[in-house]
Structure 1
Amino acid sequence: MGNSTAVVDEHQVEAWVRHVRLGLAICGALGALGLVVVLTGTFPQVPPWVTATVAGGTLLPLAIRLPWRRWRRHALGASSAYALSLLQWAGITAFAATDPAGPVFYAAAYGVVLLYACVGYAARVVAAFGALCVLGFIALAVSWGMRDTGAVIGDTGSLVVLSVLSVALAADREARDADRRKVDKRGLALVNHASDAVVVVDAAGVITYQSQAMCRIFGHAPDELVGRNSISLVHPDDAAQTHAWFGQVSRSTPGAVARLDLRLRDARGGWRHVELTGANLLHDADLRGLVLSAHDVTERKALEEQLTHSTFHDPLTGLANRALFRNRVDHAIARGQRTGSPIALFLVDLDNFKLVNDGLGHAVGDRLLAVIAQRLRDELRPSDTVARLGGDEFAVLVEDEVTELSAASVAERLVAAVRAPVDIDGQESLPSASVGVSILKVQGADRSVDSDADELLRDADLAMYAAKAAGGNRYAIFDPAMHADLLAEAQQRYELERALAEGQFVVYYQPIVELSSTRLVGVEALVRWDHPERGVIGPDAFIPLAEATGLIVPLGRWVLEQACRQLARWRAAYPSATDVYMSVNLSARQFQAPGLVEDVAAAIAAAGIPAGRLTLELTETLLMRDTVATVEALAALKALGVKLAVDDFGTGYSALGYLRQFPVDIIKIDKSFVDGVATSHEDAVLAQTIVQLGRTLNLQTLAEGIESTDQSSQLEALGCTYGQGYLFARPAAAQQIEGLLRGR
């Protein structure tokens, strides 16, 4: 296909040729009739030259009609046909002149032939020819002295009617041609200005036409691609598929549409993604090719790839995220089921990363994570998968040539890679990581991929926690005993939850006395687990698990409520107990949980006790965690009116320096100092130092774990005011404490 002018001219010429063929056929038929008349001697007076004219006029149109396809694209062919028809009409007219009866018939007949043949011209040209025929016939009739006026008028009327009909046909043809040209121009404009590029290729794949959109989208000059094989524009990776697709479209039902996604080269040598739509028009005589429409989807593909990447990759580090990593693990297990190859999974968890975020800020923490991610990537092969599962937890999947020895080597490299110092904006950090390793030896295809993946991740997680429990900055390879420990812990957690729901916990109370008089001044609430099978269980057996699982929060709230209610009952039953206070321990998990102040206020209000009769004990380590937040929380508790005590004082490392910031009332000397206070000069000096510090800061001192009279006497001599321990009373149920209250 070429430009629009060529398309319109071709249609015009073909219209002419169709009319000429019909006109020449009529001319030939009438010429043959005239020839028969001449040869049969119907008019013996006809001169020989007239006979030759008639014969030539008959044969020439037939000769012209045969090779019409060769002239179909040339207006010269149509013009020659009209000239020969005129020559034939002249010869027949001359022949008719020899017979006065002939002019009417022949002039009218060949006038009609001429008018019909001229339909290929404009209506005004046909009208001119018709007028000439009518006038010529009248002139001939007058010059030949035709006496049959009625016949002349009738034939003249016939010529006029035929002329009018021919003009009408010509006008109608002109209108249809104009509409067709308009449609052709509109279609061409749509093709050239559409967002999709259109090309036509022949059966061999050679481009025979390209729309102007090829210039706009791909940068190719007009008609630059015409004559080139279309496969040469296709990406090598898509060439075979495209070639097969061409064959499929070529063999499809005429007009059927097929689609294909592929990449095409642009004029700059780059590749653009396109959606190709093809229609089979090889049967169409005008096109004889495949019409292909190329829709450029390069930007959409880039956006899809970007969205896909963001869906399956961590935005901070660029590593695979949890979803993609799980997908890789599933595929690795499926391959392992076919090949029998083991798979190794590594979980890498940074140690104490929260201190980096809290101390240096989240921006520094994020940059540290990016550095660690790059280090892990550098330590592994391109075939290995590195992912960030979230927070400071990374994961690595290794598939090829996995043994326990090689897995240990990889784990050592990962630990060493993380351990190297990191300098971020002058801030040096010394990161470390705990690495858990699990190796899955695939048993066979009869196992579930999901279950194997869950098992692999679970085992690596258990090994990682084992490495962290051993102090971190190391790796641990999963051992089945870890799973047994996990099951035991899960069973304990279940039992702990059930015990809390079924009310199996009880509160014991240990008296606090004044050392100088051994008078009861307070009690400390201590929780015990009254197990239905194992009896009463001490806190050391379940408090660590409650802390780890978070159950310590509801359990601690329950102990606080029970202790406040018990103090209220004692105060109501024993008037002498109105100055006794209740001491309740707060765990670190409780202290950090939201709503602590509200819980304390609610427990005091529900029991109806003075807030000053409640003392909350906090460990020294807890106070050191987040100074600003801790001071705010302690201030909120003090605002309720409760007293605050520091438990296990002296076991920390920096409490002395920060003690002024905390609104505490009591410091409790840890049992480790009390044990040797009567026998060790060093312990006695330490205990005396704590007592003197309490006096300086106007704080009460309370020694815990007193088991002998020597310890009690020495502490009293050092100035310690209060004490508690087995010397005075063991933790006991509320009923036993009531005896002490009665004897007070």
Structure 2
Amino acid sequence: MASPLAIIYTATLGRAGTWSAVSPQVSAMLGFSAQEWLAENRWYQQVHREDRDRVLTAAQRSAENGQPFRCQYRLYHRDGHILWCRDEAVRLAPDSDQFQGLIFDITQEQQAEQTLAELVTSTAAVTGQEFFHLLVRRLAAALRVRYVIISEWLDQENVRVIAFWAGDRLHPPFTYKLSVAPCNAVLKQGKICYYADNVQAQFPDDPDLVAMAARSYLGVPLQTRHQQTIGHLCVLHDQPLPDPEQVRSLLEIFAARAAVELERDRAEAAFKRSSEQFHAIFNHAPIWMAVVSLDGRLLRVNRVCCQLLGYTTEELCQMTCAEITHPDDRELSSQAYAQLARGEVNNYQLEKRYLTQAGQVLWTISSVTLVRDSQSKPLHALAQIVDITERVQAERSYRSLFENAIEGIFRSTPAGHYLAANPAMAKILGYTSPAELIATVRDISQQVYVRPEQRAEFVQQIELFNEIAEFEYQIYRRDGSIIWVSENARAVRDESGQIRYYEGTTEDITERKTTENQLYFLAFHNPLTGLPNRAFFCDRLREAINRISRRPQYLFAVLFLDLDRFKAINDSLGHSTGDRLLRAIGARLQTCLQAGDAIAHFGGDEFAILINDLASPTEALQIAELLQAQFREPFQLDDREIFTTASVGIALGRRAASQTPYQHPEDLLRDADIAMYRAKQTGKACCAIFNSQLAVYTLSSLQLETDLRRALERQELCLYYQPVVSLTTSKITGFEALIRWQHPHRGLLSPGHFIPLAEETGLIVPIGLWVLQQACQQMQTWQMQGLLDDTVAIAVNVAGRQFAQSNLVSQVKEVLTATRWPAQRLRLEIVEDAIRGNEAAVTAKLHQLRALGVQLAIDDFGTGYSSLSRLHRLPLDILKIDRSFVSGADRRSDNLEIVRTIVDLGLNLGMRIVAEGVEVAAQVEQLRNLGCHDAQGYWFAPPMSAAELASHWLQRP
């Protein structure tokens, strides 16, 4: 069969040649039928007139010598347009004048070569930005595309467009985010990327693709000779690319040239920046800088040099370094510079003096560096000079400051004796002079520190960090009195790194510490009774709450005590008497407490007591009664006896119902306060434990747990089934198995009454396995009875605790084997919380379940804590929208938007979408319009027993 890309022919060649046969492809290629072509001997007429002589000469030569005929020339199409072709023919037999040949259409190849030649020619003589602008314009025309972009990769997040041809003109440069664009892989992976169509759908967050209405994209990286990607060259079009292979070929060719230009631009820019930086540093440096010739002449100086020396730039550039150097330093300075100029050293540093124009002496540290040429020959020197005049003057004045400082200044050895001290240091320690201090104190840790272990702490910290700041400790003065001091010190080391001595300052902070202690007491104590206040008590409560996590058996209680009739005492006897009574009560209550307990006065007549390490809740009641017993004896205030009582509320550290600890101190105090008010309602001088009535509820919960453990044995659990309906066909696609409990006394219970308890106690594991077995067995029974279509699936919920079981996969496999229910028709609906843990372990288990053939669904999506960033990495098939979002979608726009977002997310991840809780027709229509696949809810059917479902919904075909 002839190729549609070539004409096969048989003919005699030469000027008198005739064609005897031609393939039908002549019609597709040149517009003539085979009959017309042969009858009219069209070949010679259709050869381009400029090519005829050359072609006929070559044909005549082959006819005469019998050699194969090969020639490229142009042919006219019937409609007049010109095609390039390649003609190849060979003699049929040695004694025959007939040749058989093929004519190939190579128009596109010629056009591509011509395009490439034009592009190369037009861009050969330009460089830099002009090259980039010309290249994008010529590529857009040659490739027949709307957009051509050349970009520079700035960093991991940003790309700068340096040339952008759009439609019919150049656009100015701009920067865009790499993470949302199709060039991400081109730049970060250094590979060619091609998107034939719908590129916007693949990069929905790229606003530029939308603005350009782009459909296709092809990009190639710009790489240096070291294969480092520095940018990219790409084309975009509002239609599929006309000729992707030609586009790719041309982009690869010109990407190499563009990379060279971009790298050269970068190098030039870097050199320019470097040069500008040097000049900027030189001219604006805060220190002297000068360029010095090898013979010591100043070639160039900066502004600071002129300012400090008092000369102009012109004056200094006519001088030598020796002329501005102090006479006493010239010899040493000249020797060092001569050694540098000879190339014997590359740099040196000297402390030397310069003279200003006014004769002032400037102390400096001069750092001089030799600059060499590319052959390492010395060119000149760069001098960097730091003015240390102030430092020298400061050092000279240091001794005066040392002697007259208000703070103590010292120098001491690691062994613990003073090397030096100023008068203020001697005064702080109670000595008459520094000499007396140094002579007397031979062991600082024993003679000065009140707590010698703090000296060890001081030494340890300064060895680790080389300095210490505001180190506070108590010291003995010479007379034995104790004061507080604050010390700042640093270690001075020798060349080997060993500490030679410590030096620092010491300040007497005794007065400040006294004030701080007073402020601390006021912040955490009641000013009337001196007892800790609410803030202090809450700190102690927080410690007790945290202790529970470390000691599971630990039990504590808070007793909230409120005086009975205190207002009457205050009103009748006066506030002064009331205050004295509160102080007396606080003192008496303290006598009842043990070492680990705590008491606080909250203000008014309210006291709180923390009792630690209780043996049982009963002990808390006993202590409360002991506290109340303290009020049986009157309080003697002057000559008056005052009787009062107190009501006590008790809150245990663990909640009565769940035995879980409190999380916040304020919650515990609140419950103790509530219990106290309940005690007051009972009568004066009573006690009450918070939520004691929950004991009834606790007993009820225990009974329910006992009943639930027996429910499986007594076959009290049963399954209801709710149909899942296709929103497209309205046919049943499956059922969800929903558990019910036929309780012998409470009647039919829905899952909400017992599943939380089952999860808490771990009973959910055997119950979940029972549900899986029963559901698969029932479906297989219906299948055997011919009541089910072969595609109907059963959905079974998997709780978090059940999913965590190591043998879950084997259990599912065993159930499928035992019931003979097809794995592909089993859907395991897993709650979001179950897949929150270790991602690797969760993913592995999901893959194992998937390997069995079952379908995996994420249940009640949007109500748990699943991470959208990892959802796409999990092997899930189905996404179920929670009823809480569906129920209001027909009335509330926010609910509808949430549902829309979830549906779009699931569809983008290739998941099947099932909506729960559909109750009205409007919701059905909304879900169908959003693209949701299936739905379930009371609009279709409520959950039904197996018998009811079989009789009303399932029918034999």
TM-score scaled by structure 1? 0.41
Larger Rg: 1 or 2?
Answer: 1
The answer to which structure has the higher strand fraction is 2
The answer to which structure has the higher helix fraction is 1
Higher relative contact order (CA 8 A, sep 6+): 1
